[in-house]
Structure 1
Amino acid sequence: MLNIVLFGPPGAGKGTQSEKIIEKYQLTHLSTGDLFRKHLGEGTELGKLARKYMDQGHLVPDEVVIGMVDDKIANTPDTKGFIFDGFPRTVAQAEALDKLMQKNNTEISGMIALDVAEEELKERIRERGKTSGRADDQDEEKIATRIKVYLDETLPVADYYEKQGKFSKINGIGTIDGIFEDICTVIDRF
């Protein structure tokens, strides 16, 4: 089973590249944002638990997020693998994901990180904001905060996978197809 963590800061091109990866390798997209919307919308037990934390202004604890990921994996038995988008965001989540994958007799094949300079990220996010209508993509302070949170909290996840020999960095500047070719070269070695 091919299980990829697609990694990179906001504006690096993860969404664009994940669509291409999913199509070529027939992977199941596993986005924690989508899982939250599903569980909240369906009123599942996990959704109710998440809602309780959110209503109190708290972050949803890792165990609840992992529970949602576990549910998705368990209910997608015939997949060729998963592409994890927006998860794991912390080393604790990465460790929990490894345990979850072992429980399901598989493992993370590798992490692919899109590397893009900060000024380029800001420009891409601003451009995306013009077409997406996302207010947070047009606010300089929010853009800077999102990048800082990534650098402070999420970047250590790359070190976690690097220590396992599962980390690959791809230059995220270039043509969409050129970057995709570089990604495929890495995936084909997994």
Structure 2
Amino acid sequence: MRIVLVGPPGAGKGTQAVRLAEKLRIPHISTGDLFRANISRQTELGKLAKSYMDAGNLVPDEVTIGMAKDRMEQPDAEGGFLLDGFPRNVSQAEALDRLLQEESMQLDAVLDLEVPEDEVVKRIAGRRICRNDSSHVFHVTYSPPKQEGVCDVCGGELYQRDDDSEDTVRKRLEVYHSQTEPIIDYYKAQGLVVTISSLGPVEEITQRALGALKREDAAQ
């Protein structure tokens, strides 16, 4: 299957992308991984992306599209892939359509993870990170530390990242609504969108997604 995964910040896209790709036995292609891989390998696209990032500018769509094209042409993606973080806007979605048409391929589904805005704010703004080790992550509601403000693992101080403040989260949601959400309507016009609720336990959401994708595949 060839799938695009969309949803607002805090919808759990990263977690679900990894799980779904593993269960469907297709590569998980994320924008973040593409950038890191190209920059670390010092590819031409990686060097170009880094030059924009170092200058504090957004990486142009054509650079992101070029990286995605290279990755989708790798042998492990012949049987399908799951795109996470790309396309991020309608122009990228249109470019993806052109790429797939050139290769005589098409998307099978666009999986939209739906979550109420207040829940997004609660999920992200409630995160607390250990200053000693950023892999130690807690949540004031869902996974609170035994002692407030103290990491259970190493005793380090827990803090809220600036990116996780409520004001910042709401600004990120505004960007999502204005730039990324329009691709849902774009793909709805093609009959590709499958919307599921991203509320509940992680495994339950995964099974919900797999069931929806299976029904979509059977309907084609």
TM-score by length of 2: 0.80
Greater Rg, structure 1 or structure 2? Answer: 2
Alpha-carbon shift at residue 77 of structure 1 (Å): 4.7
Aligned mate of 2:183, from 157, 179, 189: 157
Deviations along 1:125-152, one digit per CA (max 9) or x if unpaired, are 1234441777245322211111111111
For 2:42, give the aligned amino acid: G
Partner of 1:110: 109
Structure 2 Cα separation of the partners of residues 136 and 165 of structure 1? 39
Partner of 2:194: 168
Larger RCO, structure (CA 8 Å, separation 6 or more): 1
Alpha-carbon shift at residue 27 of structure 1 (Å): 1.1
Is contact 1:28-1:80 (8 Å) kept? no
Structure 2 matches for 1:47-66, cutoff 5 A? 47-66=46-65
Partner of 1:138: 164
More helix by share: 1
Partner of 1:178: 204
Structure 1 Cα separation of the partners of residues 77 and 208 of structure 2? 28
Q: Alignment length, in residue pairs?
A: 189
Structure 2 Cα separation of the partners of residues 154 and 103 of structure 1? 24
Secondary structure in 2 matching 1:68: helix
Give yes or no for the alignment of 1:67 onto 2:66: yes
Structure 2 Cα separation of the partners of residues 126 and 89 of structure 1? 23
Alpha-carbon shift at residue 35 of structure 1 (Å): 0.6
Identity value in percent: 44
Alpha-carbon shift at residue 75 of structure 1 (Å): 2.1
Deviations along 1:88-130, one digit per CA (max 9) or x if unpaired, are 1100000001111222221111111111111111111123444
Structure 2 Cα separation of the partners of residues 149 and 41 of structure 1? 28
Deviations along 1:4-33, one digit per CA (max 9) or x if unpaired, are 111100111112211221121001011111
Give yes or no for the alignment of 1:24 onto 2:23: yes
Q: Which runs of 5+ in 2 are unaligned?
A: 130-136, 139-158
Deviations along 1:59-98, one digit per CA (max 9) or x if unpaired, are 1111111110111112235543111101111000000011
